[in-house]
């Protein structure tokens, strides 16, 4: 794990002890910028993870794709390689590989269905989607320098920064010129065409704002076909294997997200989400900055908003939005959706949360029973100097302040050594918290 400066905005209503603790960590951790040593302290190198440890058999391969065994550990993320009929992909996390596989399998099934009802359309789709299938797909993006300006609106009054746990990308790769996907280009200017595209995407459970150019070509082609009078375009169903994820509130939150994406234009989504966040007690300044953050797609913003709404009664919910302002790329955006889902799932399955606190990229939460929870969206946590320092200090703080319980919920795995060390420090770890055992 590596630290880099992150933004923390903690309201005056936040627990004073926790606020003072974060200030103390800034001073204590400033000296840990040097690379971790893996020789004398019993630390471990980034582990090699086989894809079958984190992906189901149905996700590993199908008649239209396969995930290669060569998985790279980059910081706390796992980078995969997918070969498919529609091009090859390098998703930089488990969450992203799940999205790409779902897209590939959906496109493949839909094209196959069209062969039975509209062969001409099926052949046109197949010709478009398989162009360059033997090379890696360049995910749609263009350089726009906006994130630092948006985040900067908050930095003037923050008064503190925080050396945070597990940065999302190596710091040298982050810049004010981060690649931003121009999401507004995915919404057709013709409102009828746009409506067709949204409805087709909803029917097939695809994201109309997906950065996958194959998905965009597919949806645009079907929307144009339907607009030209081919009513059968888009009227197909697909059936994918269960991905093993736990759905919050039996899927009602995801259903609400899907409905919002189906029935709202970009401008309507902004107003809808702004109204929902206002009712949830989020400051208008924070809400606007979040909803205009260029590296979060409309779907990311809507998903996070719906989980904010679900966390009714939890204090300082806007801390999650403030943390998400630091999003630097699509993988980070998806990670914040994971954080939102982790919080909602914890609230539903374990017990009531009291309030949220943003520590740079990482979310902390306190519980009504006096516990302290660390929320991690990462694929892998392993034991190095940074991991030891962060959680040793957190354990000491929890003891000194009398927290009755301290836990870590993670979307991913812990190495065996990291798990043992963290449990020795008194943390209850819950790996793969969003997946059924």
- Between 16 and 428, the more confident residue is 428
Residue identified by tokens 């902004």 is 270
Instruction: Check pLDDT > 50 for residue 386.
Output: yes
Residues 6 or more apart in contact with residue 227 via CB below 8 angstroms: 190, 192, 193, 196
Average pLDDT over residues 169-197: 71
Mode of pairing for the β-strands spanning 161-163 and 5-7 = antiparallel
Question: How many whole angstroms separate alpha carbon 258 and alpha carbon 263?
Answer: 9
For the chain, percent of residues with pLDDT exceeding 90? 62
Q: What is the CA radius of gyration of the chain?
A: 22
Structure confidence by residue, pLDDT tens digits, 244-256:
899 999 999 999 9
Instruction: Check pLDDT > 80 for residue 153.
Output: no
Q: How confident is the model at residue 315 (pLDDT cuts 50, 70, 90)?
A: very high
Structure confidence by residue, pLDDT tens digits, 92-119:
999 999 999 999 999 999 998 888 878 8
Structure confidence by residue, pLDDT tens digits, 403-423:
989 999 999 999 999 999 999
What pLDDT does 20 receive? Answer: 54
Question: How many whole angstroms separate alpha carbon 377 and alpha carbon 152?
Answer: 24
What pLDDT does 163 receive? Answer: 34
Q: Residue 113: phi, psi to the nearest 5?
A: -65, -40
Question: How many whole angstroms separate alpha carbon 410 and alpha carbon 408?
Answer: 6
What pLDDT does 34 receive? Answer: 36
Residue identified by tokens 């009513």 is 231
Question: How many whole angstroms separate alpha carbon 120 and alpha carbon 137?
Answer: 25
Average pLDDT over residues 162-185: 49
Residue identified by tokens 């694929």 is 379
What pLDDT does 127 receive? Answer: 82
Instruction: Check pLDDT > 90 for residue 293.
Output: yes
CB atoms within 10 A of CB 299: 22
Q: Residue 24: phi, psi to the nearest 5?
A: -65, -40
* Coil vs helix vs strand at 66: strand
The per-residue pLDDT of the chain, averaged, comes to 82
Q: Are 85 and 108 in contact (CB under 8 A)?
A: yes
Burial 59-70 (b: 16+ CB within 10 A, else e): bbebebbebeee
CB atoms within 10 A of CB 32: 16
Could you write out the three-class secondary structure of 371-404?
A: EEEEEECCCEECCCHHHHHHHHHHHHHHHHHCCC
Instruction: Check pLDDT > 70 for residue 18.
Output: no
Residue 402's Cβ-count burial label (10 Å; 0-12, 13-18, 19+) is: exposed
Q: How confident is the model at residue 436 (pLDDT cuts 50, 70, 90)?
A: confident
Residues 6 or more apart in contact with residue 275 via CB below 8 angstroms: none
What pLDDT does 266 receive? Answer: 95
What pLDDT does 404 receive? Answer: 87
Instruction: Check pLDDT > 50 for residue 167.
Output: no
Instruction: Check pLDDT > 90 for residue 321.
Output: yes
- Sign of CA pseudo-dihedral 237, 243, 249, 250: positive
Instruction: Check pLDDT > 80 for residue 26.
Output: no
> Which residues pair with residue 315 across a beta bridge?
355
CB atoms within 10 A of CB 330: 25
What pLDDT does 228 receive? Answer: 86
Average pLDDT over residues 214-241: 86
Q: How confident is the model at residue 393 (pLDDT cuts 50, 70, 90)?
A: confident
Average pLDDT over residues 141-167: 32
What pLDDT does 369 receive? Answer: 92
* Coil vs helix vs strand at 347: helix
Instruction: Check pLDDT > 90 for residue 28.
Output: no
What pLDDT does 136 receive? Answer: 74
Structure confidence by residue, pLDDT tens digits, 201-211:
999 999 999 99
- Name the token pair of 184: 């507004």
Picking from 53-57, 121-125, 216-220, which range would have the lowest pLDDT averaged per residue?
121-125
What pLDDT does 169 receive? Answer: 39
Structure confidence by residue, pLDDT tens digits, 178-189:
456 789 999 999
């Amino acid at each position: 794990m590596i630290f880099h400066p992150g933004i923390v905005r903690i309201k005056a209503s936040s627990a004073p002890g926790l606020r003072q603790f974060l200030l103390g960590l800034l001073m204590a951790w400033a000296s840990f910028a040097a690379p971790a040593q893996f020789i004398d302290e019993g630390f471990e190198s980034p582990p090699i993870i086989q894809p079958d440890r984190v992906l189901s058999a149905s996700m590993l391969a199908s008649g239209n794709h396969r995930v290669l065994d060569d998985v790279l550990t980059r910081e706390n993320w796992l980078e995969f390689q997918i070969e498919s009929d529609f091009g090859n992909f390098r998703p930089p996390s488990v969450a992203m590989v799940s999205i790409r596989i779902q897209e590939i399998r959906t496109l493949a099934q839909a094209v196959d269905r069209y062969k039975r009802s509209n062969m001409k359309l099926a052949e046109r789709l197949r010709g478009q989607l398989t162009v360059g299938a033997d090379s890696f797909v360049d995910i749609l993006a263009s350089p726009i320098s906006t994130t630092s300006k948006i985040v900067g609106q908050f930095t003037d009054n923050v008064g503190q920064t925080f050396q945070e746990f597990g940065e999302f990308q190596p710091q040298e790769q982050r810049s004010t010129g981060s690649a931003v996907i121009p999401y507004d280009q995915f919404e057709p200017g013709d409102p009828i065409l746009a409506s067709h595209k949204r409805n087709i995407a909803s029917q097939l459970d695809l994201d109309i704002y997906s950065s996958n150019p194959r998905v965009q070509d597919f949806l645009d082609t079907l929307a144009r076909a339907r607009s030209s009078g081919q009513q059968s375009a888009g009227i197909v169903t697909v059936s994918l294997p269960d991905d093993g994820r736990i759905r919050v509130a039996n899927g009602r939150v995801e259903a609400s997200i899907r409905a919002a994406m189906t029935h709202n234009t970009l401008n309507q989504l902004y107003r809808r989400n702004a109204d929902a966040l206002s009712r949830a007690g989020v400051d208008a300044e924070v809400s606007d900055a979040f909803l205009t953050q260029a590296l979060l797609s409309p779907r990311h913003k809507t998903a996070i908003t719906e989980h904010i709404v679900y966390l009714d009664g939890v204090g300082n919910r806007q801390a999650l939005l403030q943390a998400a302002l630091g999003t630097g790329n699509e993988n980070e955006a998806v990670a914040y959706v994971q954080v939102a889902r982790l919080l909602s799932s914890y609230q539903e399955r374990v017990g009531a949360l009291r309030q949220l606190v943003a520590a740079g990229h990482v979310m902390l939460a306190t519980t009504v029973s006096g516990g302290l929870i660390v929320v991690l969206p990462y694929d892998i946590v392993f034991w190095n100097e940074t991991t030891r320092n962060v959680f040793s200090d957190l354990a000491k703080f929890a003891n000194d302040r009398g927290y009755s319980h301290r836990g870590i919920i993670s979307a991913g795995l812990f190495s065996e050594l990291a798990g043992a060390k963290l449990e020795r420090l008194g943390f209850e770890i819950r790996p793969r918290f969003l997946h059924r055992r």
